[in-house]
């Protein structure tokens, strides 16, 4: 398959933004070795169709900043596939667990972590898209129970795990439901843990470019995708977990998983 034909295939990708997408995108971008102009176009097209995929922003930024794009693309894909965040999170909970753990939606890294902990009763809080949530839960290897935010407050859950779509400059991008859910959870005394996996911690300028692409920035957005998000300060989190284990808000503020790629700061429409 030719590189631009593969781009069209990736543009239609709907099965999340996990390891498979990053692998396919890395393979596609590596084919632009010796064609820097084509590489920039390819990266912009990928992000135009998947603006809320932080792993793709991370991959594209790394490849664009590298002198050996093929090697960098495959190194990034390998690192992403072996992200240590799920294992770090899985070992952070008390063992054996004596209370249920709530999760906002069923995001990739958190679901992988809880698969390693069959002793934990998992409550999945609806994240605003029941059809997509149901599709993700069909593949779950853990017994889960879907609840509403009201049911969460009435439950005996000790923790709510929230996985960041992306982070940058002391803020995180979350599903829109977080705007109303987080204050309710904080008032009920449930501890909130934030998960920021590999490829999700971005330099501020790149994070702001991502917000514009998602149509969730105060400035004029490049385009509208009809999906809404919440941009929240990290102060809500009692703990933060990433590839290296537990982190602090200041540590996350200083964490950059990729360089700033100027070519991505304004996507072409």
- Asked if residue 235 lies in contact with residue 192, where contact means CB atoms within 8 angstroms, the answer is no
Q: Residue 178: what are its φ and ψ, rounded to 5°? A: -60, -30
Per-residue pLDDT of the chain (269 residues; tens, 9 = 90+): 566 677 777 877 766 668 889 999 999 999 998 899 999 999 999 999 999 999 999 999 999 999 999 999 999 999 999 999 999 999 998 887 888 999 999 999 999 999 999 899 999 998 876 666 776 777 666 778 899 888 998 888 999 999 999 999 999 999 999 999 999 998 888 999 999 999 999 999 999 999 999 885 544 333 333 458 999 999 999 999 999 999 999 999 999 999 999 999 987 54
pLDDT of residue 2: 62
| Cα 148 from Cα 102, distance rounded (Å) | 11
| Cα 74 from Cα 215, distance rounded (Å) | 30
- Least Cα distance to 157 among 210, 100, 112 occurs for 100
| Cα 207 from Cα 197, distance rounded (Å) | 15
- Asked if residue 92 lies in contact with residue 241, where contact means CB atoms within 8 angstroms, the answer is yes
pTM across the whole model: 0.89
| Cα 41 from Cα 268, distance rounded (Å) | 9
- Least Cα distance to 177 among 189, 165, 167 occurs for 165
Q: How many CB atoms lie within 10 A of CB 96?
A: 8
pLDDT of residue 75: 96
Assigned token pair, 193 = 């843990």
**Exposed, middle or buried: residue 89 (CB in 10 Å: 0-12, 13-18, 19+)?**
buried
| Cα 220 from Cα 16, distance rounded (Å) | 27
| Cα 218 from Cα 187, distance rounded (Å) | 29
């Amino acid at each position: 398959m030719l590189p631009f034909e593969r781009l069209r295939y990736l543009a239609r990708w709907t099965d999340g933004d996990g390891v498979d997408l990053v692998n396919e995108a890395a393979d596609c971008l590596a084919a632009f070795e010796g064609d820097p102009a084509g590489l920039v176009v390819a990266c912009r097209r990928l992000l135009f169709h998947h603006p809320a995929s932080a792993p793709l922003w991370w991959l594209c930024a790394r490849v664009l900043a590298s002198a050996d794009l093929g090697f960098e693309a495959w190194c990034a894909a390998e690192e992403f596939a072996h992200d240590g965040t799920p294992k770090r999170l899985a070992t952070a909970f008390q063992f054996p667990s004596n209370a249920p753990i709530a999760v906002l939606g069923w995001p990739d890294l958190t679901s992988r972590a809880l698969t390693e902990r069959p002793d934990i009763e998992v409550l999945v809080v609806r994240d605003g898209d029941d059809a997509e949530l149901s599709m993700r839960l069909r593949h779950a290897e853990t017994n889960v129970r879907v609840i509403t935010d009201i049911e969460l407050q009435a439950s005996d859950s000790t923790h709510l795990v929230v996985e960041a779509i992306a982070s940058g400059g002391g803020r995180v991008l979350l599903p829109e439901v977080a705007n109303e859910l987080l204050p309710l959870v904080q008032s009920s005394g449930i501890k909130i843990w934030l998960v920021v996996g590999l490829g999700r911690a971005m330099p501020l300028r790149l994070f702001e470019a991502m917000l514009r692409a998602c149509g969730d920035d105060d400035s004029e957005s490049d385009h509208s995708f009809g999906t809404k998000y919440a941009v929240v300060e990290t102060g809500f989190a009692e703990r933060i977990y990433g590839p290296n284990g537990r982190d602090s808000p200041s540590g996350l503020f200083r964490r950059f998983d990729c360089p700033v790629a100027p070519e991505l700061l304004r996507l072409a429409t």
